[in-house]
Amino acid sequence: MDGHFYIVDLLEKRTIKEILKKGSRSKPEIQELQTILYEMGFGRKLKWNVYNADGDYGRLTTRAVKDLCKRNKIIGHGDIISEEIAEVIVKLYDILDELQQLYLDIHNGNYKTRYRKGSKYKNEIAGLQTLLNAMGYGKELNWETYQNDGIYGNGTTKAVLKFASHRNIRSKGEYLTKSMCRKIVSEFSKYYGIDWSKTRKSIKFNINNKPNNRNDEPTEAPPMPTSALVIYSDTHFVGKKITCDVDFIPALKRINTYAAKHDIKILITSSFRTSFEVPGAIVTPARMSNHMAGHGIDMNIKYGPNYSQLCNSQGLRRRLPRQIANFIEEIRNDSELRWGGDFRTSDPVHIDDHLNNDPKKWLKRYEAVQKSRKLGLA
């Protein structure tokens, strides 16, 4: 989450119990809480299909929070968000994308080719590294230096090996078996709501379907409709996977080119969003946010030897190291890109292509990507 949500701000200000409680009138903050709970799988408790994120912390939100507390062995009646509950929500929500991707890869058979040493699937490996770090294997990953760099090398091998040995699984750490993938998922999924695997990206598939060939290989999935919403990766993007409108890819390619030219890595913290009410970013999100149309990214920057130094939102507000300053200048000089540090209300972690300068174009792309999201195409 990297400090971009109301709940994180409230934690930092130690005002969370004053705002997120039954009967509170703080509608935007409660809407964010409800949306996060829904995306974490508690939609049935919220009666989401009836009320959505209505901003009313009443009986249903209390019921959802109480269920979350029970699943995470926290004492609470659900009528208030304590700091302990909020910290659990932040931790679980932050790894939800990665957990859903691993779950999907188990059931479509992709785990066999993706989660192994030397894998070219950087987004999936970055997700695995994020999960292993959350399980306590940051030392083996050398997380402080490399974080989730998407490279299945010696560090990830050590982390997988330690994970396996702690569970009496025979492994050299060089790849994940199906049982190891399932173990990772099962150790996290018990903390989420019942629909955690279906909600955030509307993934729909029957997990009870069994492969019917003799080698236990997955049968080929039927062709999917063309999607406006896609997953994008490139050589100088690390961190969270980039979910974006297909029309934003040319801009991302140029950003990647500028990053490569100045020898930095773009650590993605956020891309496509489903609602202006949820991720508050560093500034209050616009109602025509380019994130909602899949035309914006939020990022930190890694630089220096082995990309071991990190420039976050605070660093991007100060005097920048030469490499980063030159990269930002490339963005500024590109007539089709914008750096958020130049906004009237500075948002230095943000880059977009100013799609929302044309409301008609923005609406067209917004409708296209939101339709793809609802169909579960990305």
State pLDDT tens for residues 156-190. Answer: 999 999 999 999 999 999 999 999 999 999 999 99
Q: What pLDDT was estimated at residue 312?
A: 82
Distance of CA 266 to the CA centre of its chain: 15
What pTM was computed for the model?
A: 0.59
Identify whether the C-beta of residue 284 lies closer than 8 Å to the C-beta of residue 29.
Answer: no
Distance between CA 3 and CA 92 in Å, rounded?
15
Q: Which of 1-5, 69-73, 261-265, 363-367 has the lowest mean pLDDT?
A: 1-5
Q: Considering all CA atoms of the chain, what is the largest pairwise distance in Å, rounded to the nearest integer?
A: 62
Identify whether the C-beta of residue 56 lies closer than 8 Å to the C-beta of residue 26.
Answer: no
If one counts every other C-beta atom within 10 angstroms of the C-beta of residue 50, the result is: 8
Q: Which of 79-93, 174-188, 226-240 has the lowest mean pLDDT?
A: 226-240
Which of 86-95, 117-126, 328-337 has the highest average model confidence (pLDDT)?
328-337
Could you tell me which residue, 180 or 202, shows the higher pLDDT?
180
pLDDT band, very low/low/confident/very high, at 239 (cuts 50, 70, 90): confident
Q: What pLDDT was estimated at residue 60?
A: 94
Q: Among residues of the chain, what percentage have pLDDT more than 90?
A: 45
**242 - beta bridge partners?**
232
Q: What pLDDT was estimated at residue 209?
A: 35
Q: Among residues of the chain, what percentage have pLDDT more than 70?
A: 86
Q: Which helix (H) or strand (E) holds 369?
A: helix 359-374
| pLDDT average, residue stretch 254-283 | 76
Identify whether the C-beta of residue 330 lies closer than 8 Å to the C-beta of residue 262.
Answer: yes
If one counts every other C-beta atom within 10 angstroms of the C-beta of residue 144, the result is: 10
pLDDT band, very low/low/confident/very high, at 70 (cuts 50, 70, 90): very high
Q: Which of 13-17, 277-281, 372-376 has the lowest mean pLDDT?
A: 277-281
Residue 363's nearest CA partner among 288, 309, 310 is 288
**339 - beta bridge partners?**
351
Assess whether pLDDT exceeds 60 at residue 143. yes
Those residues with Cβ within 8 angstroms of residue 148's Cβ, 6 or more apart along the chain or in another chain: 125, 126, 127, 129, 130, 133, 238, 239
Could you tell me which residue, 293 or 207, shows the higher pLDDT?
293
Beta strands in 15-88 (DSSP E): none
Q: Give alpha helix (H) positions in 135-208.
A: 138-141, 143-146, 154-166, 178-189
Structure tokens at 69: 């507390």
Identify whether the C-beta of residue 83 lies closer than 8 Å to the C-beta of residue 16.
Answer: yes
Assess whether pLDDT exceeds 50 at residue 118. yes
